Amino acid sequence: MVDDHPIFRLGVCERIKGIGGRVTLVGEATDGFDAQKMARALHPHLILMDLNMPGISGIEATQNIKSEFDSTHVIILSSDDEIDDVNAALQAGASGYLLKSVTGPELQEAIFAVMKGGSALSPSVARRLLTILTRPISTSTKLSEREIQILKLVSTGATNKTISKELFLSIRTVESHVHKIFQKLGVSSRTEAVTQAIRDKLIQNP
């Protein structure tokens, strides 16, 4: 169990202990650095990981741990359901993303599901992902060549500053293009823009 808030961490640990003999709590960590050290020392089957912590984030810690121990499952526990964070966590290798409002039985069910090779998402998180994936494909979307060029760079994770340098544009110009891309695709985040553009076959999956 990895979380920098002692009271919350204690509460989750108590829930885990309450599951019984099928699940054993082997360690607690207060940040991403400790999580990586303990993963190397204990080789846990599953880690419950906070998202926002001092030092390195839960996403970075997850990515580092999964690169070393692919068989170790990670479930993110967060109070944040922003779709960008959810996507980043899943891309880093997390098998689940639960909100901190999760109940004891829901946590238990998620742990068992992930350990069986499945995944676990809080209902509101799943709904937001489903909304993006099932959004109708627009056949009338018209992006300019410059917008497509910028969107391709966005899909690689490039920031506005990086795009500005790459294309020799001012940051203000890049921001304007990104805003127009959002409007044309009917989205509100970079992740949603990339996802929709791939679905519309405007760009290829990076």
Domain shared by 16 and 74, yes or no: yes
pLDDT score at 13: 93
Last residue of a domain, one of 133, 165, 182: 133
Q: What angle do CA 33, 39, 44 make, to 5 degrees?
A: 145
Largest CA distance in the chain: 60
Residue 107 belongs to a domain: yes
Tokens representing residue 9 in the block: 């961490």
Q: Are residues 48 and 18 in the same domain?
A: yes
The label of the residue with tokens 């553009």 reads: 197
80: left (phi over 0), alpha (psi -120 to 50) or beta: beta
Say which DSSP state 138 is in: P
Same domain, 127 and 167: no
Last residue of a domain, one of 101, 133, 165: 133
The pLDDT score that the predictor gives to residue 139 is 45
Q: Do 120 and 89 share a structural domain? A: yes
In a domain, 206, yes or no: no
Residues 105 and 150 in one domain: no
29 beta partners: 2
43 falls within a domain: yes
pLDDT of residue 132: 64
Clarify whether residues 111 and 161 are in a common domain: no
- Total of domains in the chain: 2
pLDDT at residue 135, rounded to an integer? 60
Residue 53 lies in a domain: yes
Residue 63 inside a domain? The answer is: yes
**What global pTM score does this model have?**
0.67
The pLDDT tens digits along the chain (206 residues) read 999 999 999 999 999 988 877 889 999 999 999 999 999 999 999 999 999 898 888 999 999 999 999 999 999 999 888 877 888 888 889 999 999 999 989 999 999 999 998 999 998 888 877 766 666 555 445 788 899 999 999 988 889 999 999 999 998 899 999 998 988 888 888 888 888 888 888 887 76
Quick one: pLDDT at residue 196? 85
Same-domain pairing of 12 and 111: yes
Name the residue range of residue 177's domain: 145-199
Strands (E), 54-206: 73-78, 96-99, 120-121
Between CA 120 and CA 142 the distance in angstroms is: 36
Q: Are residues 123 and 176 in the same domain?
A: no
Tokens (6 digits) for 108: 């238990």
Q: Please indicate, yes or no, whether residues 51 and 126 belong to a single structural domain of this protein.
A: yes
CATH of the domain at 72: 3.40.50.2300
Distance CA(48)–CA(56), nearest Å, equals 15
Q: In what order do the strands lie in the sheet with 120-121?
A: 46-50, 73-78, 96-99, 120-121
Question: Which residues, including other chains, have CB under 8 Å from residue 49's CB and lie 6 or more apart?
Answer: 2, 35, 58, 61, 62, 74, 75, 76, 77, 94
126 and 153 together in one domain: no
CATH of the domain at 173: 1.10.10.10
